[in-house]
Amino acid sequence: MSAGLRDAVLAVNAGSSSLKFGVYERSGPALWTGLFEGLEPGGAPRWRLDREPVHDLVVPAGSGSFDAALAELLSLLAASGLRLAAVAHRIVHGGRRCTAPRALDDELLAYLHTLEPLAPLHQPHNLEGVEAIRAALPGLPQIACFDTAFHATMPAVERRLPLPRALHEQGLRRYGFHGLSYDYVSRTLAAATPRAAGRLLMAHLGNGASLCGAVGGRSMASSMGLSAVDGLMMGTRSGALDPGVLLYLWRAGWSLEQVESLLYRESGLKGVSGISADMRTLRASTEPAAAEAIELFTHRVLRESGAIIAAIGGLDVIAFAGGIGEHDARLRADVAAGLAFTGLKLDAAANLAATGDVLMPVHAADSTVEAWIVPTDEGRVAADAAFAHLDAG
């Protein structure tokens, strides 16, 4: 590549039918972000940058949709005046061995593939993206950034499942997820308010949803456990269930595949409402089932919040992130009302005025707990890890 070009890192999050990406320099927000979607077999491939209009993606004969998306992305980068220095990949599960970002090689990839049953919605597709980009850009540093890594600081009692010791030693333990988001939120709040160094409850609420309790910026408790289906009710995931439900279904003749699909793809907001996994759609609906789904989601957030607050010994700051957390003022108000016993009180006008696009406090002047909206940026965290790897080089 030509001398004098500015170094940039491409941060990617590969899914089953999509490829989210952002391009970052050493500091500041993404230079640009974008999304390729409709990449599944038989889908309608399309892409957009930031909030620009959607474009159809042309897939050449003999090429797959993902390969076509990658070729389009590399073409955009080549025309940008930037030198691609590394690719940072969001990997959902790092297991016991990966508690910090790692350079990807064949040995690490083989280990990460063994974790696919723990995150079947994400891990296989994350790794397919890694392999496609490694093939397209051989020799370019590829850095894996793990959603589980932020939670490596959780105490042993939080990690332990009440199972036989032999299973624990095989790695069946609580890991926690959404770590890249929580890393960004905790860092951002540490620069905004001194109280973030205290007892911080972070709510990443979106299609995937979880809570994290941190003290001194270190994860102490997570609503998610061994897998990313645990904890809160989500868009299509059930969250925590009585294990007896699964035993009942298996005895009724359900297959492993049917149960897995139920837990990951057919439950949550979508399953309860029978309408949609999208909170915006449910808010706009007049159907009683939509209201029931929203009420249950809110209740589960409150129920799990109480557990996290107890685990960290109280509450100094609450942060809302993710698509629902950043943009649903009603949800924030209802959660704050349910947590009023902690001393939390929202500024109603500030909460309603918040767009979710900027870091913003929304607590009332007389609230003893601070409340913030933090637009999360997982790509920034991944890019920072890639630049650190390059510098250590």
* Residue positions forming the annotated binding site for substrate: 90
- Is-catalytic flag, 7? no
Q: Which of 178, 264, 174, 182 is nearest to 225 (CA)?
A: 174
Antiparallel, parallel or unpaired: β 142-146 and 82-91: parallel
Give the residue carrying structure tokens 């508690």: 99
Distance CA 33, CA 217 (A): 27
Binding-site residues from annotation: 13, 20, 90, 204-208, 278-280, 323-327, 378
Q: Which of 186, 214, 207, 191 is nearest to 327 (CA)?
A: 207
Q: Do 121 and 16 form a contact (C-beta atoms < 8 A)?
A: yes
Beta strands in 92-240 (DSSP E): 102-103, 142-146, 199-205, 209-215, 218-222
Which residue out of 147, 316, 347, 384 is catalytically annotated?
A: 147
Instruction: Sort residue 369 into left (φ over 0), alpha (ψ -120 to 50) or beta.
Output: beta
Q: How many Cβ atoms sit within 10 Å of the Cβ of residue 71? A: 16
Q: Maximum distance among all alpha carbons in the chain? A: 66
Binding-site residues from annotation for ATP: 20, 204-208, 278-280, 323-327
**Positions marked active-site:** 147
